A = this chain, B = another copy of it.
Amino acid sequence: MTIRILGLDPGLRITGWGIIECEGSRLSHIDHGIVQSKDGEDLPIRLVSLYTQLIDIIQQYTPDEAAVEETFVNKNPLSALKLGIARGVVLLAPAQAGLIVGEYSANKVKKSVVGVGHADKNQVAMMVSRLLPKSGGVVKDAADALAVAICHAHHRTFFQKVRMA
């Protein structure tokens, strides 16, 4: 059975998204990109823009499941608040569209894609290109989104095996 997964890397200014398909352990790249909201605009307007763009992507690509990278909690509470605001909307959109939404820590994503939990962004992007050769040149934010989709693909397969055992 082919499962289509939407991976999301939340941010108020830039949210990365990536769509992959997995059939057992075989992964294939469907599409990826970023959605942006303008710095100067009022926060509620920016959130509507973020939400609407995500709903459009979900309607266009009809994923079966979604995976969101857990936000890195900055030491600065104000930055953490801003990240949370974006994260709330990024979690809501696929859940509101009826998808199961998995959450994975940055370390779990890196471990799943690169093999170690403390890989840097470039290593993640490189491994994403290797695991999904058709993805071509992936911009940084979309690479993280594809990485969390890959992580979800690995873990859902694992859970399926456990369930079948």
Contacts and interface: CB of A to CB of B under 8 A. Distances in A.
A87 interface: yes
A50 to B, nearest CB: 8
Contacts of A101: 42, 44
A85 B77 contact: no
Nearest to A47: B92
Interface on chain A toward B: helix, strand, loop, or mixed SS?
helix
Contacts of A44: 91-92, 94-95, 101, 103
Number of copies: 2
29 contacts: A42-B101, A43-B91, A44-B92, A44-B103, A47-B88, A47-B91, A47-B92, A48-B95, A52-B96, A77-B80, A80-B81, A80-B84, A81-B83, A81-B84, A81-B87, A82-B84, A83-B84, A84-B84, A84-B85, A84-B86, A84-B87, A85-B85, A85-B88, A85-B91, A87-B88, A88-B88, A88-B92, A89-B89, A92-B92
Interface of A: 42-45, 47-48, 51-52, 71, 73-89, 91-92, 94-96, 101, 103
